[in-house]
Amino acid sequence: MTHRGSEEMTASDRARAGNRDEFKDECGVFGIYAHPEAANLTYLGLYALQHRGQESAGIVSSDNGKLYSQKGMGIVADVFSEDVLKRLNGSSAIGHVRYSTTGESHIENAQPFVIEYSRGSLAVAHNGNLVNAQFLRAEFEAYGAIFQSSMDTETIVHLIASCKDASIVDRITYALNRVKGSYCLLFLTDDMMIAARDPNGFRPLALGKLKGSWVVASETCAFDLIEAEYVREVEPGEILVISKSGLSSYKPFQKAEYTPCVFEFIYFARPDSTIFGRNVYNVRKSFGAMLAREHKVDADIVIPVPDSGVPAAIGYAQESGLPFELGLVRNHYVGRTFIEPKDSIRHFGVKIKLNAVKKIIQGKRVVVVDDSLVRGTTSRKIIKMIRGAGAKEVHLRISSPPTRCPCFYGIDTPRSEELIASSKGMEGIRDFVTADSIGYLSIKGLYDATGGAGRTFCDACFTGRYPVDATSVNEPPQLALFK
């Protein structure tokens, strides 16, 4: 299909065309109920969750039967000012940060999504990805429904609005019984905040308390910032209603196997967060230690690919008894608007973000640890850079199993043919990235390092075992990692 320019396309066009936007819904959500500083605290919460999404940010607050909304493209610091926050009145608020790599991004896809329907105003913020959203959307459009965005979240809103039940909880239950896939949702009405997590519990969602106020966030690092106390996870398949009368919990869905996303541990969540009952930093270190046991090598130093490879590299170094060094330095000021130089100077790519410390690397046999290998292109450039800094040998160690299959539940991955491990064997990958040796963490090692027996995860990106049928979905388009 020939695509028109994005500006010419309607939201529906984009949805039908299988636009990138539909599969980029790895996000962060935050909400607080009954606090005089609701919008300010949500703003802080979103700062802590910024790693979960940098494309857009938004806050909706609720005051005296009215919802106030501010959304914009970019990071939290770009979207909110003191004046803007002052206008977000009320003692309850929900917020959202949305993930993007490169490519199209649109303000109509920024969340929280706000609607006016027969029962009043409703705002919703979503982290996850619905696998049957296109199907449901087509059903609605066949009856003349008009969609404002290309987001799967809007389908939930249409289902809620079309339900005949009286209570909002029944409407949400009806809607969520029809959708499939992954969701952590926060809803805000004029008098309630409602949190919901899908029955498989793909994405993390935590409940906390700040004095007398309830808070809900994708990750506990948001609680640490506002000094809220962690209470528990929102359970898989749970709907939590927070209102003047307190907290009520409902479990209206058919039970499913608990399959939290293991990639949250590997790459996505912040190391200082506790998700799925474990601290992310400790789990990453255990991955690294296990990797050292599985793939020992004679070397002089262990260096991480910063930032996400750091905890695993520490684990690898400690287990192998090799010195840990920061042999690569990341430039944290490369904005998302960085324009890749064309043609003649294109090869600068990764060097803008990372630089090798020659004094550390020169003449050494280096073990370089990264959390995952996707297309292999970044690692290839990094290894070239390490060799350029004078390394004698470069041994690549990956603290996760080979990524072979795309994710349909909210992590942005390329099509399977673009995942290097889907077409190449170990020797082919080693050859492509030009390492002297390569070693991935095994699936067994991954499970053993996260607590062993009895644990279940969604590991579909490694095994192709999809806990929720996603066969009707087209594969997500290319992820532009360090393009």
The residues pairing with 184 across neighbouring beta strands, listed in sequence order, are 127, 197
Where in 288-307 is the site for ligand AMP (CB under 6 A)? 305
> Are 309 and 317 within 8 A, CB to CB?
no
> How far apart, in whole angstroms, are the C-alpha atoms of residue 113 and residue 54?
17
Active site residue 27: yes
Query: Which range, of 64-72, 126-134, 135-143, 370-378, touches ligand AMP by CB under 6 A?
Result: 370-378
379 binds ligand AMP (CB under 6 A): yes
> Are 184 and 233 within 8 A, CB to CB?
no
Q: What is the chain's Cα-based Rg? A: 23
399 binds ligand AMP (CB under 6 A): no
Pick from 43, 223, 267, 276: which binds ligand AMP (CB under 6 A)?
267
Pick from 137, 375, 397, 430: which binds ligand AMP (CB under 6 A)?
375
Give me the 330-369 binding string for ligand AMP, x by CB under 6 A, dash otherwise: ----------------------------------------
Pick from 204, 376, 467, 477: which binds ligand AMP (CB under 6 A)?
376
Minimum CB–partner distance for residue 97 and ligand AMP (Å): 15
Beta carbon nearer to ligand AMP, 233 or 370: 370
105 binds ligand AMP (CB under 6 A): no
Can you list the alpha helix ranges (DSSP code H) found in 280-392? 280-294, 310-320, 349-353, 358-361, 377-388
Pick from 55, 238, 325, 370: which binds ligand AMP (CB under 6 A)?
370
> How far apart, in whole angstroms, are the C-alpha atoms of residue 450 and residue 458?
13
70 binds ligand AMP (CB under 6 A): no
Query: Which range, of 138-146, 238-246, 373-381, 449-457, touches ligand AMP by CB under 6 A?
Result: 373-381
Minimum CB–partner distance for residue 172 and ligand AMP (Å): 29
Beta carbon nearer to ligand AMP, 69 or 100: 100
Helix (H) or strand (E) holding 168: helix 168-178
Minimum CB–partner distance for residue 457 and ligand AMP (Å): 16
Pick from 371, 383, 447, 460: which binds ligand AMP (CB under 6 A)?
371
Question: How many CB atoms sit inside 10 A of residue 178's CB?
Answer: 14
Where in 306-325 is the site for ligand AMP (CB under 6 A)? 308
Beta carbon nearer to ligand AMP, 402 or 445: 402
| 400 DSSP assignment | S
> How far apart, in whole angstroms, are the C-alpha atoms of residue 206 and residue 209?
10
Beta carbon nearer to ligand AMP, 131 or 226: 131
Provide DSSP, 439-480.
EE--HHHHHHHTT-TT---B-HHHH---SS--TTSPPP----
> How far apart, in whole angstroms, are the C-alpha atoms of residue 404 and residue 375?
10
372 binds ligand AMP (CB under 6 A): yes
Half-sphere exposure of 372 toward its Cβ, with a 13 Å CA cutoff? 19
Give me the residue label for tokens 């802590």.
Answer: 48
Query: What is the phi/psi pair of residue 115, to 5°?
Result: -130, 155
Whose CB is nearest to ligand AMP?
Answer: 378
378 binds ligand AMP (CB under 6 A): yes
Name the residue among 214, 255, 209, 207 with its Cα closest to residue 234.
207
480 binds ligand AMP (CB under 6 A): no
Name the residue among 320, 311, 260 with its Cα closest to residue 457.
260
> How far apart, in whole angstroms, are the C-alpha atoms of residue 431 and residue 417?
18
Beta carbon nearer to ligand AMP, 23 or 466: 23
Active-site residue, from 27, 163, 221, 405: 27
Minimum CB–partner distance for residue 310 and ligand AMP (Å): 11
Tokens at 332, concatenated = 């944290």
481 binds ligand AMP (CB under 6 A): yes
Burial class (CB in 10 A: 0-12, 13-18, 19+), 448: middle
Pick from 21, 25, 219, 412: which binds ligand AMP (CB under 6 A)?
412
Catalytic sites, residue numbers:
27
Positions that interact with ligand AMP (CB under 6 A): 267, 305, 308, 370-379, 411-413, 481
